[in-house]
Chain A
Amino acid sequence: MNADQLLDACDRILARLGTDAEAEVTVASGTDALTRFATGFIHQNMSDAVSRVHLRVALDGHVAEASGNQTDDDALDRLVRTATEAARLRPPDAAWPGLTPPAPAPTVEHWDEATASADPDGRAERIGAFVGSAGGLETAGFCSTEGITVAFANSAGQRLTGRSSMATLDGIARTPTSDGSATAVSVSLADLDGTSVGTDATRRALGAADPTDLEPGRYEVVLSPSCVADVLTFLCIYGFNGRAVDEGRSFVKLGAAQLDHAITLVDDVAHPMSVGVGFDAEGTPKRRLEIVREGVSASLVHDRRTAKALGTESTGHALEGAGAWGAMPSNLILEAGSASADDLVGSMQRGLLVTDLWYTRILDPRTQVVTGLTRNGVWLVENGEITGPVSNLRFTQSFIDALAPGAVRAVGSDLTLVTGGFGLGAWAVPSLHLASWNFTGGAKG
């Protein structure tokens, strides 16, 4: 369905509700396709014709949601009946923030038609190039394409449509003793070069081969963009999230210099590297938001509920059906510095260059102590030179401490688009050189 048809489906739902209900509707349609390869061949390959309908109604403050994947008249009747009957049975929601008033969304067009309609051959071609560039090493990974058109309408008169495409090629090359990874993300599949990504992964795998064990302890680190995205995920979910602050679970104190001066974090759907549409699940237009300005905590991200609770405006970061979690940035950008990734490594006295973090889990949201492991290549750097690969290590590290004032030695210039935290959108982040990272064990125990 095109945008007009989706908006028509929204209108058909709103018409069924009459004038007594406050209601908001999102209808989405498109294609989500993903091709996986492992041990050098494509083993799983899927395409889903996406169809999604989401309705939230409020009847005199009694709120309920319902969703489905059908848009015929009978299905829409059932959807409306389900939501309204549920709302009538619920107690009033004292925190109901009301609907988003009519307002235009920023004009963004992160869309490539060829990507949205890509066939499996286009993905297989890039995988073939990745595999072919690995020089006989074992390979694994995926290539995905998606194109989603979404329409939003509410009974307050807000009506918006948007569309977004995204393509990802992500893979590893493997030696008997090491893995090396590489990723490319773009609005357009045409931007993804399988040979280039495969060559990078292969170079890292070969460079990480035959690692030696390193004594755990505190080391300087250069974290690659994918690691940095991992760190920011926790800072956002448990920190710069209006809900976490409202509940007293967050470390964030607005106006305080809580992070290093080198850290400036914004959310900006209009950034040229961004993907996604210009409004959130509640129909709130997105706008550029400074979350951290030169180390000072500047803003929280909000949906309408957390904004009401804290007496402010929604920032346009509501997620569908995720009210209990609060809001999350969808287009996070950590502003780049001037040092190349090689410069960051060159400035380390004795530290570790880390490709990926893995299975990161929070131990305490307030202190942001997180444990996890390294993955896909770790190298010891001494006097600015890589001296050799080391085995994976477990860390137990406070992410606030890792980025605290004075803890960031340098920010890389290598602004890179990576998949956002917990699979939300895509974030543009550079490498970071940090003064200290607490490795608490070797992967072998």
Chain B
Amino acid sequence: MFDVAEAAVGAAIAAGARYADARVMDRRTESMGARNGEVEELMQDASVGIGVRALIGSGWGFASTADLTPEAARRAGEQAAAIARASASVPGKDLQLTPVEVRQDSWSNAVTEDPFTVPLGDKAKLLATVTQTMHQSGADIALAGYDAWDTRKWLVSSEGHRIDQHIVECGAHMDATAIGDGETQRRSYPGIRGQYGTRGWELVREIDLEGNAARIAEEARELLTAPECPSIDATDLIIGSEQMALQIHESVGHAVELDRILGWEAAFAGTSWLDLKQLGSLRFGSELMNITADATLPGSLGSFGYDDEGTPAHPVDIVKDGIWVGALSGRDSAALAGLESSGGAVRGDGYNRLPMVRMTNVGLLPGDSSLEDMIAATDDGILMDTNRSWSIDDKRLNFQFGCEIGWEIKGGKRGRMLRNPTYTGIGPRFWGSLDMLGNESEWTFWGTPNCGKGQPMQVGHTGHPAVPCRFRGVRVGVRG
């Protein structure tokens, strides 16, 4: 495959590109879904192709094809250069690329049990069993599914990179919906998006879907008659680690993407409230807030050996002791922003999508409290967990998130279950109110397999290490 990629890169350079790279990607996916005890869907996909990126002046050109003959690869290289030349007709400042060590290497993640070799019948039985259990335990609609990806990619650049990677990802999800008079309630496990990682089927076995199916169905049914989350302008809010993963993803992860900060996503995904001039000095949150972007975390969904520009995975400090200190970047955005090197955060969704800045494992480092400590330390507040809805403005500042379940906290004890809990806030004000942080024993590497960004839309796989947290003075119970 390296030869095909080299043919494409050579053609792009010959056609006038000052830099070019090419990725051959061979990806196999498998997903299955079940409902109320019956397997409903089984989908398997195999796609292979090459994407070529060429830089002329200020703009990239990218061309892709499923045809892996050397002739087709050369044509794709020439086309990428022609597209880059067209880009240069509406020019900006010449794009530069931060330097990166040129490597020839192979990388693969550790997998104990290849998800593609687990018999389909066994996987079907698991999903049918847990959806039947949920259905029998009170769920009107019981859904479960798994997804597995096996991706092999070969990167060649005009600077000399030759890197091949083999990444296996896997995970599963289930949810129970109870339908009441005029509204529905849902409980998901392990989270709204399930749980995913750069791991094999062992991850699915570890999350124990069977052991949690009845519980979430019963909770969904119970929620229908639970009291509504009260509307309070300012209260103490404890957030479980699954919802914290969403909170980090939306209000920190996207906000620190350098392409957004530079305005490259202004018309679609949006920009960021962060100003580069404040990098290193802006207070993002309380001193308890330490966020890293670390693609080296074993098993987390945003892990890899090299990003799609050949930058080796490495941890990047994003927020340190509450101060904004880093960004998610690639070689071009880092150079434009005046950073010394790429953050190694550029990936493309398949061979036919232009690599762009994506989150790796953007997560919160643990503290020294526990969820039970937080409850015990809260006289009057609310505990929420498991994301239900998420909405945030185009600067990643104003958010309103809904959770599947909440509980009243009174006198340091968990009280009544609450339905339809929501909370809203402004990023730095909210993070500034963080005053208790879960410890390492509660640190979970949540995987988000469906992060949408880019045009055409790309679906990214990101990881979010998270712990339960407590925030003070939060507005909850926003009503329609």
B-binding residues in A (CB < 8 A): 32, 34-49, 51, 63-70, 75, 78-79, 82-83, 86-87, 89-91, 93-95, 119-121, 123-125, 127-128, 131, 138, 140-142, 144, 170-172, 174, 179, 181, 247-249, 321, 323-324, 358-367, 369-373, 375, 392, 394, 396-398, 423, 438, 440-445
Is B282 engaged at the interface, CB distance under 8 Å to the other chain?
A: no
Complex CA distance for A19 and B331, rounded to whole angstroms: 55
User: Which residues on the A side are within 8 Å of B95 (C-beta)?
Assistant: 43
Which of A65, A68, A75, A444 interacts with B398 by CB under 8 Å?
Answer: A444
CB closest chain-A residue, reference B43: A65
Q: Which of B82, B121, B179, B267 has the most CB of A within 10 A?
A: B267
The answer to whether B424 and A441 have CB atoms under 8 Å apart is: yes
- Having A63-B42, A397-B480, A441-B398, one finds 9 other A-B pairs with CB under 8 Å, namely A34-B455, A38-B264, A43-B59, A46-B354, A67-B46, A82-B44, A82-B46, A172-B267, A441-B424
Complex CA distance for A423 and B422, rounded to whole angstroms: 28
Complex CA distance for A377 and B180, rounded to whole angstroms: 39
Which of B47, B264, B400 interacts with A68 by CB under 8 Å?
Answer: B47
The answer to whether B267 and A38 have CB atoms under 8 Å apart is: yes
Write 6 A-B pairs (CB below 8 A) sorted by A numbering. A38-B267, A39-B92, A68-B46, A142-B455, A375-B393, A443-B395
The answer to whether B393 and A358 have CB atoms under 8 Å apart is: yes
User: Which residues on the A side are within 8 Å of B90 (C-beta)?
Assistant: 37, 40-42, 124, 127-128, 131
Knowing A69-B47, A70-B66, A364-B183, say if A443 contacts B397 (CB, 8 Å): yes
Is B184 engaged at the interface, CB distance under 8 Å to the other chain?
A: yes
Complex CA distance for A443 and B394, rounded to whole angstroms: 10
Complex CA distance for A40 and B264, rounded to whole angstroms: 10
The answer to whether A138 and B263 have CB atoms under 8 Å apart is: yes
Which of B38, B47, B480 interacts with A438 by CB under 8 Å?
Answer: B480
The answer to whether A66 and B63 have CB atoms under 8 Å apart is: no
A-binding residues in B (CB < 8 A): 33, 35, 38-49, 58-67, 79, 82-84, 86-93, 95, 119-121, 124, 128, 140-141, 143, 177, 179, 182-184, 262-268, 270, 352-354, 356, 388-395, 397-398, 400, 402, 420, 422, 424-426, 429, 455-457, 478-480
Which of A34, A87, A174 interacts with B266 by CB under 8 Å?
Answer: A174
Complex CA distance for A358 and B45, rounded to whole angstroms: 32
Complex CA distance for A364 and B121, rounded to whole angstroms: 35
The answer to whether B352 and A140 have CB atoms under 8 Å apart is: no
Knowing A247-B141, A372-B391, say if A394 contacts B264 (CB, 8 Å): no
Complex CA distance for A360 and B266, rounded to whole angstroms: 18
Which of B41, B356, B480 interacts with A324 by CB under 8 Å?
Answer: B41
Complex CA distance for A359 and B268, rounded to whole angstroms: 11
The answer to whether A45 and B60 have CB atoms under 8 Å apart is: yes
The answer to whether A90 and B62 have CB atoms under 8 Å apart is: no
Complex CA distance for A360 and B392, rounded to whole angstroms: 9
User: Which residues on the B side are within 8 Å of A392 (C-beta)?
Assistant: 393
User: Which residues on the A side are within 8 Å of B42 (C-beta)?
Assistant: 63-65, 86-87, 90
Complex CA distance for A66 and B39, rounded to whole angstroms: 16
User: Which residues on the B side are within 8 Å of A369 (C-beta)?
Assistant: 480
User: Which residues on the A side are within 8 Å of B62 (C-beta)?
Assistant: 44-47
Knowing A42-B90, A367-B480, A371-B478, say if A66 contacts B44 (CB, 8 Å): yes
Complex CA distance for A417 and B95, rounded to whole angstroms: 36
CB closest chain-B residue, reference A130: B90
Question: Distance (Å) between the CB of B188 and the closest chain A CB?
Answer: 15
Chain A interface mostly: strand
The answer to whether A45 and B393 have CB atoms under 8 Å apart is: no
User: Which residues on the A side are within 8 Å of B389 (C-beta)?
Assistant: 361-363, 371
The answer to whether A247 and B140 have CB atoms under 8 Å apart is: yes
The answer to whether B424 and A42 have CB atoms under 8 Å apart is: no
Complex CA distance for A440 and B88, rounded to whole angstroms: 44
User: Which residues on the B side are within 8 Å of A362 (C-beta)?
Assistant: 389
Knowing A371-B391, A443-B398, say if A324 contacts B143 (CB, 8 Å): yes
CB closest chain-A residue, reference B84: A45
Complex CA distance for A324 and B34, rounded to whole angstroms: 9
User: Which residues on the B side are within 8 Å of A119 (C-beta)?
Assistant: 82, 86
Q: Which of A43, A120, A138, A392 has the most CB of B within 10 A?
A: A43
Knowing A47-B79, A324-B143, say if A249 contacts B177 (CB, 8 Å): yes
Knowing A69-B48, A443-B393, say if A364 contacts B184 (CB, 8 Å): yes
User: Which residues on the A side are within 8 Å of B89 (C-beta)?
Assistant: 42, 121, 124-125, 128
CB closest chain-A residue, reference B93: A41
CB closest chain-A residue, reference B60: A44
User: Which residues on the B side are within 8 Å of A170 (C-beta)?
Assistant: 267
Question: Distance (Å) between the CB of B345 and the closest chain A CB?
Answer: 16
Knowing A120-B82, A249-B141, say if A48 contacts B64 (CB, 8 Å): yes
Question: Distance (Å) between the CB of B64 and the closest chain A CB?
Answer: 5
CB closest chain-B residue, reference A56: B43
The answer to whether B356 and A44 have CB atoms under 8 Å apart is: yes
User: Which residues on the B side are within 8 Å of A94 (C-beta)?
Assistant: 38
Question: Distance (Å) between the CB of A362 and the closest chain B CB?
Answer: 6
Complex CA distance for A131 and B141, rounded to whole angstroms: 50
The answer to whether A38 and B47 have CB atoms under 8 Å apart is: no
The answer to whether A89 and B124 have CB atoms under 8 Å apart is: yes
Complex CA distance for A372 and B478, rounded to whole angstroms: 12
Q: Which of B49, B59, B140, B262 has the most CB of A within 10 A?
A: B59
The answer to whether A396 and B400 have CB atoms under 8 Å apart is: yes
User: Which residues on the A side are within 8 Å of B88 (C-beta)?
Assistant: 42
The answer to whether A32 and B456 have CB atoms under 8 Å apart is: yes
The answer to whether B179 and A248 have CB atoms under 8 Å apart is: yes
Complex CA distance for A70 and B45, rounded to whole angstroms: 11
The answer to whether B140 and A248 have CB atoms under 8 Å apart is: yes
CB closest chain-B residue, reference A375: B394
Complex CA distance for A370 and B177, rounded to whole angstroms: 18
User: Which residues on the A side are within 8 Å of B353 (C-beta)?
Assistant: 46, 48
Question: Distance (Å) between the CB of A224 and the closest chain B CB?
Answer: 16
Which of B66, B182, B264 interacts with A43 by CB under 8 Å?
Answer: B264
Knowing A66-B45, A91-B124, A324-B40, say if A140 contacts B266 (CB, 8 Å): yes
Question: Distance (Å) between the CB of A56 and the closest chain B CB?
Answer: 9
Which of B38, B82, B177 interacts with A91 by CB under 8 Å?
Answer: B38
User: Which residues on the A side are within 8 Å of B124 (C-beta)?
Assistant: 89-91
The answer to whether A46 and B267 have CB atoms under 8 Å apart is: no
Question: Distance (Å) between the CB of B183 and the closest chain A CB?
Answer: 5
Which of A37, A67, A363 interacts with B44 by CB under 8 Å?
Answer: A67
Complex CA distance for A90 and B42, rounded to whole angstroms: 9
CB closest chain-B residue, reference A368: B480
Complex CA distance for A249 and B394, rounded to whole angstroms: 30
